[in-house]
Amino acid sequence: MMTTDVIDTYLVELEAVVRAISRAEVEAAVMALFENWRERRHVFLIGNGGSAATASHMANDLNKFTIVEGQPRFRAMALTDNVPLLTAVGNDLSYEDIFVEQLRNWLRPGDLVIGISASGNSRNVVKGAAYAKAHGARVVGFCGQPGGQLAQLADLKVIIPSSQIGQQEDGHMILDHVISLALRELIRAEGAGL
């Protein structure tokens, strides 16, 4: 009986969280990514722990799920995926610098960085976002409630309205899927001249 209550409570609460996600914030993120795609710019994704997994998953979905025959492809890279480089920078410099050091190699003005952080206060994500802004990139923050430093720093943010980290991370995965789906439809419409 107790397990059933835990499961039901979590899912009922998650359902309410999903209903409360700002559709306007999600649409703004979609349109920023669509503009980035139109300009053939790069998207970089950063996050820690579960958010690192979401960054990897979203890079996969942006690169593959949005493919429309005859249209250019997204250029998305999760800066969470090069473990040798992450550990080298973490060991030789600081864990706070693992994303900044990679952005120094890749980032160009006009690119877009998606920072994913449930707390919004992960030092390496905040530092990466600040570096990106200082070098002419646009920053989108995926945060939990209340948003932390990342939400304050980001040009656009999507706040998952929950104080529970699991639900925040669930919400970030939902953002990945709904944003990728919306982008594929926009790219398809662009190809059809709609």
Strand-pairing partners, residue 159, are 143
Estimate the crossing angle of helix 165-191 against helix 23-38, to 10 degrees.
50
Closest to 57 in 3D by CA, of 45, 69, 67, 48: 45
pTM of the model: 0.96
Q: What total number of domains does the chain contain? A: 1
Per-position pLDDT tens, the chain of length 194: 589 899 999 999 999 999 999 999 999 999 999 999 999 999 999 999 999 999 999 999 999 999 999 999 999 999 999 999 999 999 999 999 999 999 999 999 999 999 999 999 999 999 999 999 999 999 999 999 999 999 999 999 999 999 999 999 999 999 999 999 999 999 999 877 76
Looking up residue 61, the CATH number of its domain turns out to be: 3.40.50.10490
Closest to 52 in 3D by CA, of 20, 79, 25: 79
Other C-beta atoms closer than 10 Å to the C-beta of 154 total 25
Owning domain of residue 52:
2-191
Residue 154 has what pLDDT? 98
Residue 2 has what pLDDT? 87
Closest to 135 in 3D by CA, of 107, 154, 157: 107
Q: Exposed, middle or buried by CB within 10 Å (0-12, 13-18, 19+), for 65?
A: middle
